[in-house]
Amino acid sequence: MNAMTELAVALGDGLITDRDVMEGYRHDQAIWAAGGGGGDGGSGGGGGIGGWPLAVARPSSTAQVQALARWATRHRIALVPRGAGTGVAGGATATEGCVVVSFERMNRILAIDEAAMLAVVQPGVLNGELKAAARERALWYPPDPSSYAISTLGGNVATNAGGLCCVKYGVTSDYVLGLEAVLADGELLRTGGRSRKDVAGYDLTRLLVGSEGTLAMVTEITLRLRRLPPPATTLVATFGSLEASGRAVAAIVRAVDASMLEIMDRTAIRAVERYRPLDLDTEAAAMLIAQSDAPGSAELSLMQAACEAAGGTVVATTDDEGEGQMLLTARRLALTALEQLGTVLVDDVAVPLPLLPEMLRRIEAVAAEAQTTIATVAHAGDGNLHPLVVFDRHDAAAEARAVAAFNEVMAQALDLGGTITGEHGVGTLKRGFLTRQLGEASLALHRRIKAAFDPDGILNPGKVIAPLE
């Protein structure tokens, strides 16, 4: 029995080898990211739409994932785990001759324990599906990346996804209580559990969250839930400069625990307004969308005062849920709207909060120097910015300027003591900057950890850490 026949027996109808079907599994949203090979240069640019996999595996159980891992270890074939393909760093880019492992069939909410306020889910469950199921029980799952309606919880765990409300309620890792995962050799690993506090041994749960499928394949997730928050009141403020909006955010964070602090710059505002008219102020240099879910407190008045002191040109508040949702829709539509203007290279950097205004200023300077459009949206309360580099991919010179701008934004974030990625992950797109941020000693330790979990290097090879030359 040859290797592929052996795999077909293990997976049944869960194996795809038709090239036309496999085409949709070769890459995530980062069509710019290179495949899993390569060295440690700058960004992974160069049109890396992924190598051709031998097959796409769609396991329907943990046992099938174990069988797949044992098969891959025997035959030294790489496995590339995949959620819904909404990632933007190339973490799910196929490598030549790999097997892509799609968890789309492992999509059940296994339990919602109302008394313990937790949920147990398979990795293919959509973030939005869990939110809806929890809400039916007056519970809430807070992490809400912009792709929450279509991204999977397994993918959210892989990148430690954040979202709009993380400024007050935290990111994915703050809600993962335990994991079931399959190691490269097929052994089953369980980390954590249902207890809120657990310091027995090393924190392998936190290690696996954000590891982008390079250490193990997650097959079950135990997640903490919260009570539903009170209805939020929304504040919107416009500013004559992007820096002024950053100063307002820094002042708000020092004063109150806002439940949301989001910034859109003029380029993003105008793109959204063209894409879906929402009566946004297209002359504003920046728009801040903030929320407070502490009704009856002084939070809103303090937020309003901070915006006015920073030079807000218009500051308005509303407790109308529809108006608040309209503003959030505008923020969530930014990437989609900008994609109507050209190819979008999504950056994701974060800096210490007091330096947010300076980072915003530097992004504007990078755009001017590179003669490239950069639209900035930000989870500003965390100092997490998404500069979206827009360019014509059919223009080689414009493409080169875009790559240079993308890399320079990361360099500026590091110069300010920040990070090359706040929530999207490294994948292959940002791998070349990892040594500069972490240093050689840390990177060497990363390699040893990788080797301990995956000695043959078959799990998502080339992602996060470049292979040694």
Per-residue DSSP letters for 101-139?
EE-TT---EEEEETTTTEEEE-TTSBHHHHHHHHHTTTE
Mean pLDDT of 366-370: 97
**CA pair distance 311, 296, nearest whole angstrom:** 26
Given a cut of 80, whether residue 44 has pLDDT beyond it is no
Q: pLDDT band at 45, cuts 50/70/90?
A: very low
Given a cut of 50, whether residue 46 has pLDDT beyond it is no
Choose one of 196, 229, 262: the last residue of a domain: 229
Per-residue DSSP letters for 177-220?
EEEEEE-TTS-EEEEE-S-S---SSS-HHHHHTTSTTSS-EEEE
Given a cut of 80, whether residue 97 has pLDDT beyond it is yes
Q: pLDDT band at 465, cuts 50/70/90?
A: confident
pLDDT tens across 295-309, in order? 776 899 999 999 999
67 in a structural domain = yes
Same domain? For 370 and 389 the reply is yes
Given a cut of 70, whether residue 32 has pLDDT beyond it is no
User: Based on the structure, what is the number of domains in the chain?
Assistant: 2
Choose one of 204, 229, 254: the last residue of a domain: 229
Q: pLDDT band at 468, cuts 50/70/90?
A: low
454 in a structural domain = no
Same domain? For 207 and 280 the reply is no
**What tokens does 45 get?**
């640019």
Same domain? For 141 and 191 the reply is yes
Same domain? For 135 and 269 the reply is no
Same domain? For 184 and 323 the reply is no
pLDDT tens across 371-389, in order? 999 999 999 999 999 999 9
- Structural domain for 341, as ranges: 233-415
Task: Give the whole-number percent of the chain exceeding pLDDT 70.
Answer: 95
Same domain? For 68 and 189 the reply is yes
Q: For residue 333, give the CATH number of its domain.
A: 3.40.462.10
Same domain? For 58 and 188 the reply is yes
Which residue(s) pair with 448 in the sheet?
none
pLDDT tens across 219-245, in order? 999 999 999 999 999 999 999 999 999
Q: For residue 116, give the CATH number of its domain.
A: 3.30.465.10
Same domain? For 135 and 83 the reply is yes
447 in a structural domain = no
428 in a structural domain = no
Give the predicted TM-score (pTM) of the model: 0.93
The pLDDT of residue 1 is 67
Residues 6+ apart with CB under 8 A from 283: 266
Same domain? For 14 and 114 the reply is yes
